[in-house]
């Protein structure tokens, strides 16, 4: 088995002085110099390592790792082990975190949970699922913390069957139902497109366990599924019943629900009272919801005015929200204004991000401005490619644009299925096989692999485009299938040629 890099295994004779007080809320205050390793007791190591993780202090964390080797507690102390795994995961050094876990002689529930968390953070959900299976197989019963990590991975990747299995396991072993666990379960069910299960769990949960976090999870679930009015009613029930006072997250759910349901006046009302009645200052995310709400409703000038007068510096995400709304309503003039601000204003965005060029390119093409379309098109070649996940028979299948990773026979069947659908839709084969969007590939795979009448559930990391949205509606009617599609924005439920979003997304 490979070992960690030598510097990590050679404890330095002296820890250098540092100017970071890791237990302070600021990294600029002073910590007393540590002139000798002996000044740190092994009992202090877990809390010190956690502080390094909190402030992403890689160099000092690595020295504490080396010190734990010298003191002999890396092998014997499970709290040091789990703290180090979490530290490396927090610092995005996931390979080291998982390698450290593999080298543990006897992993326990704490180290398993930390390793699973590292897998989730590094976008390796299948490995997290595998570790959970290995943990249970080794005779270690899961606790609330390990189940919450697993449920988070299920929620983020649409693994409904595995999430249901985790819920059943919790009931089987008699795990105590806590607000922490209930919140994770509700979130998993809603994000895996099973709103009925989320609502049933909430209704069956004893009142003393329904913390504000549980209420927030249900409000967010209703918002995600486009039931904005129900989310508002639940909020009013919570307030009038005297259960809890809302917090910032509560209002994010409410505003999101208003956005998905086109409740403009209601959204303005709740955005106003969060400050005037409840004393909660809006964050950039709240302003982003309002820009999305106004933009989707076609109130582009009002959304632009809000953006340019808000007390917080607008970021790339918020400007992109308005740009998407401009695209939805075909307003090229305002889109160019927004584009100018993104390109020439003090707007930071990830290196290599070309989403704004992709939107403008599409707008120019639709408007027939082909010279500008050509100018922007070549900049979109590096655009993030979408990935879609579908769970069939308890196994997770991941598709990207095209048919990479498929056996040739499966790929050929999907191509044939897509070609047949193109003919039924009366479309020419405009797209090369390698260019078909991943959600179409995933749904076609689901049609081939699942029994007639079964619901097809697909998870995608990007917002669904209009072409794919229309395609899903057609397939749901042609094959008499319910197709549930979760994109980065909301849940779409296609039945009989109609979508639950009412073409408002």
CB 158 within 8 A of CB 124: no
User: Which residues are within 8 A (CB) of 185 and not within 5 positions of it... i.e. 6 or more apart?
Assistant: 151, 163, 167, 198, 201
3 state SS for 39-68: HCCHHHHHHHHHHHHHCCCHHHHHHHHHHH
Relative to beta strand 491-495, strand 498-499 is antiparallel
Q: Could you give the dihedral angle defined by the CA atoms of residues 77, 80, 82 and 86, in that order, rounded to the nearest 10 degrees? A: -170
**pTM, to two decimals:** 0.81
Question: Per-residue confidence of the chain (505 residues) as pLDDT tens digits?
Answer: 333 333 333 333 333 333 333 443 334 333 334 444 455 667 788 888 988 888 888 989 998 898 888 888 777 788 888 889 888 888 888 888 888 888 888 888 988 998 898 888 878 888 899 899 999 999 999 999 999 999 999 998 889 999 999 999 999 999 999 999 999 999 999 999 999 999 999 999 999 999 999 999 999 999 999 999 999 999 999 999 999 999 999 999 999 999 999 999 999 999 999 999 999 999 999 999 999 999 999 999 999 999 999 999 999 999 999 999 999 999 999 999 999 999 888 788 776 678 888 899 889 988 898 888 888 877 775 555 678 999 888 788 888 876 554 556 777 888 888 888 878 777 644 444 446 788 999 999 999 999 988 999 999 878 888 889 999 999 999 999 999 999 888 899 999 999 998 887 7
Pairwise CA distance, residues 260 & 500, whole Å: 11
Tokens of 102: 């593999």
8 Å CB contact between 456 and 471: no
Domain with CATH 1.25.40 in the chain: 282-384
SS3 of 485-502: the string is EECCCCEEEEECCEECCC
For residues 355 and 380, give the distance between their C-alpha atoms in angstroms, rounded to a whole number: 8
Residue 137 class from Cβ within 10 Å (0-12 exposed, 13-18 middle, 19+ buried)? exposed
What are the tens digits of pLDDT across the range 89-116? Answer: 888 888 888 888 888 888 889 889 988 9
Say what the pLDDT of residue 8 is.
32
Structural fold of domain 282-384: 1.25.40
- pLDDT, residue 503, reads 84
The whole-angstrom distance between residue 186's C-alpha and the CA centroid of its chain comes to 15
- The H or E element spanning position 253 is helix 248-261
Determine the 3-state secondary structure of 405 from DSSP.
coil
User: Taking a C-beta distance cutoff of 8 angstroms, is the pair 56, 86 a contact?
Assistant: no
As given in the structure block, the two tokens for residue 388 are 């879609």
> What pLDDT is stored for residue 385 in this prediction?
64
pLDDT tens digits, 117-131: 888 887 888 889 989
């Amino acid at each position: 088995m490979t070992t960690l890099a030598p510097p990590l295994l050679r404890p330095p004779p002296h820890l250098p002085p540092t100017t970071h007080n890791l237990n302070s809320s600021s990294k600029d205050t002073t910590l007393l110099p540590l002139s000798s390793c002996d000044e740190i007791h092994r009992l202090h190591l877990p809390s010190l390592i956690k502080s390094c993780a909190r402030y992403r202090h890689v160099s000092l964390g690595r020295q504490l790792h080396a010190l734990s080797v010298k003191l002999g507690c890396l092998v014997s102390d499970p709290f040091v082990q789990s703290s180090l795994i979490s530290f490396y995961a927090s610092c995005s050094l996931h390979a080291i975190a998982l390698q450290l876990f593999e080298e543990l002689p006897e992993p326990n529930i704490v180290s398993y949970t930390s390793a699973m968390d590292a897998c989730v953070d590094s976008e390796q959900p299948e490995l997290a699922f595998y570790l959970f299976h290995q943990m249970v197989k080794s005779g270690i019963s899961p606790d609330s913390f390990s189940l919450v990590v697993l449920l988070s991975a299920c929620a983020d990747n649409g693994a409904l069957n595995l999430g249901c299995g985790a819920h059943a396991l919790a009931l089987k072993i008699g795990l105590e139902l806590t607000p922490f666990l209930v919140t994770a379960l509700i979130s998993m069910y809603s994000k895996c497109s099973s709103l009925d299960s989320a609502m049933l769990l909430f209704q069956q949960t004893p009142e003393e366990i329904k913390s504000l976090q549980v209420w927030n999870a249900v409000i967010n679930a209703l918002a995600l599924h486009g039931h904005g009015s129900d989310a508002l009613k639940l909020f009013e029930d919570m307030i009038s019943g005297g259960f809890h006072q809302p917090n910032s997250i509560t209002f994010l759910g409410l505003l999101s629900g208003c956005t998905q349901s086109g409740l403009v006046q209601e959204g303005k009302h709740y955005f106003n009272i969060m400050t005037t009645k409840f004393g909660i200052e809006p964050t950039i995310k709240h302003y982003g919801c309002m820009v999305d709400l106004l933009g989707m409703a076609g109130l582009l000038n009002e959304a632009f005015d809000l953006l340019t007068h808000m007390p917080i510096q607008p970021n790339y995400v918020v400007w992109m929200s308005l740009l998407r709304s401009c695209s939805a309503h075909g307003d090229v003039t305002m889109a160019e204004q927004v584009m100018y601000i993104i390109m020439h204003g003090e707007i930071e965005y990830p290196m290599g991000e070309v989403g704004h060029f992709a939107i403008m390119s599409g707008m120019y093409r639709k408007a027939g401005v082909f010279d500008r379309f050509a100018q922007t098109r070549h900049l979109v070649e590096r655009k993030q490619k979408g990935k879609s996940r579908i769970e069939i028979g308890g196994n997770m299948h991941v598709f990207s644009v095209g048919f990479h990773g498929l056996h040739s026979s499966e790929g050929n069947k999907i191509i044939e299925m897509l070609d047949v659908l193109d003919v039924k839709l009366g479309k020419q084969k405009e797209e090369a096989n390698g260019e078909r969007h991943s959600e179409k590939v995933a749904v076609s795979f689901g049609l081939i692999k699942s029994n007639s009448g079964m619901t097809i559930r697909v998870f995608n990391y990007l917002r669904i485009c209009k072409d794919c949205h229309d395609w899903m509606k057609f397939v749901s009617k042609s094959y008499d299938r319910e197709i549930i599609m979760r994109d980065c924005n909301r849940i779409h439920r296609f039945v009989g040629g109609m979508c639950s979003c009412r073409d408002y997304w």
